[in-house]
Amino acid sequence: MSKSLPIEIPPLQEFLKAGVQFGHEKKRWNPKMQKFIFGDKKGIHIIDLTQTVPMLEEALKFLVDASREGSILFVGTKRQAAFILRNEAIRAGAYFVSHRWAGGLLTNFGMVEQSLNKLRKYEEQFEEGVEGRTKYEIAKMKVEWARLNRLYGGIKDMKRPPRAVVVVDPRYEVGAVVEANKLNIPVIAITDTNCDPDPIDYVVPGNDDAIGSISLFLKLFADATKFGNGGQGVKHTIKDYTDFEVKIIKAKRKVPGGESATIDTKEVSVDKKKTRAKIRIKSQAQEKPKQESSKPEKKPAKKPEKKQEGSKNEVSSRVISALEAEGLSLAKAKKMSDDELKAVKGLGEKAVEEIKKA
């Protein structure tokens, strides 16, 4: 560890102004915190700041050395701490969790890494353009991105567990403390009078509810982290894609035979009568020059169609209907004389000729 602390700690009066000394009500205390309590006033415990300052110095010294060896994770999901912690972690170049602690984030990091990859893939697609998707599908992708970003936005580039974890209120962030203890990751925590100090490696007794107190501690933790990593910590890229206009790329179509083809959007014409788009597709196979053979292909000669003589198709339907109206068949009509046929209603000279030729 460093022999001297490179971070300037504010005077005791600044701690008093921030309300660091105020604990919880006497009935809500944890007896294990008794050694850090100075007394009580109007039913509220008062934290002994003469112990807080040297314990803070020890935590900051460790944090400087830890940030030189690896990354630091800031955890604070309480409403009054989330925004402050997020800003200080970004400034310090540290990872952060400010929305909700996802179970198994440290102990089951292999599975969490799949969600991190999915989050990064969504952002790459939004930047480069999405291929073959509708606006509705892109809207659903944005909803999924927003969910993942809330949980993992502060750790999306994390490749391995952190070197140390900084916690605001270890009683509220019990999941983070338990997982860090299982992996033997040191925990630095702002510990109020209702917390259990046993699972904490570096206890910093203080008010973990007041915004002023949280801001003071997190600023010092961020300064120590930034000093340790030399300003070369995590580079966060914070961007909101909920209202981001995503470019839609036309998908490639497949041509029979397994050849890919692209759609030429400039050559789209619309038939107004049938209201359908005629899209001209240029195939890769068509772009290759066709190798013409030296010998011309011989086309098979068409065989002349034989006329079926004596078929009923040569007699018009009008003539057939006139014969049927008189109860005559075509065979009987052929045996009749021309005069007899002309006497039939509906038959003229041309009809008689058709019957004789049939």
Q: 195-223 pLDDT, tens per residue?
A: 999 999 999 999 999 999 999 999 999 99
Q: What is the average per-residue pLDDT within 89-113?
A: 93
CATH top-level class of 12-229: alpha beta
| DSSP string of 181-214, one letter each residue | HHTT--EEEEE-TTS--TT-SEEEES-SS-HHHH
pLDDT attached to residue 49: 93
pLDDT attached to residue 19: 92
What is the value of pTM for the model shown? 0.67
**Which comes out higher in pLDDT, residue 180 or 137?**
180
pLDDT of 151 > 60? The answer is yes
pLDDT attached to residue 66: 94
Residue 248 sits at φ, ψ, to 5 deg, of: -100, 120
All CATH 3.40.50.10490 domain ranges of the chain, comma separated, are 12-229
- Measure the N-to-C terminal CA separation of the chain; round to a whole number of Å: 120
pLDDT in tens, 290-332: 444 445 555 555 555 444 444 444 677 777 777 777 777 777 7
**Which comes out higher in pLDDT, residue 224 or 311?**
224
pLDDT of 271 > 60? The answer is no
pLDDT attached to residue 316: 75
**How many CA atoms does the CB half-sphere of 232 hold within 13 Å?**
6
| DSSP string of 206-242, one letter each residue | S-SS-HHHHHHHHHHHHHHHHHHHTT-S--------T
Helix 109-128 and helix 135-152, axial crossing angle in degrees, nearest 10: 140
pLDDT of 252 > 80? The answer is no
pLDDT of 37 > 50? The answer is yes
DSSP state of 27: G
pLDDT attached to residue 4: 65
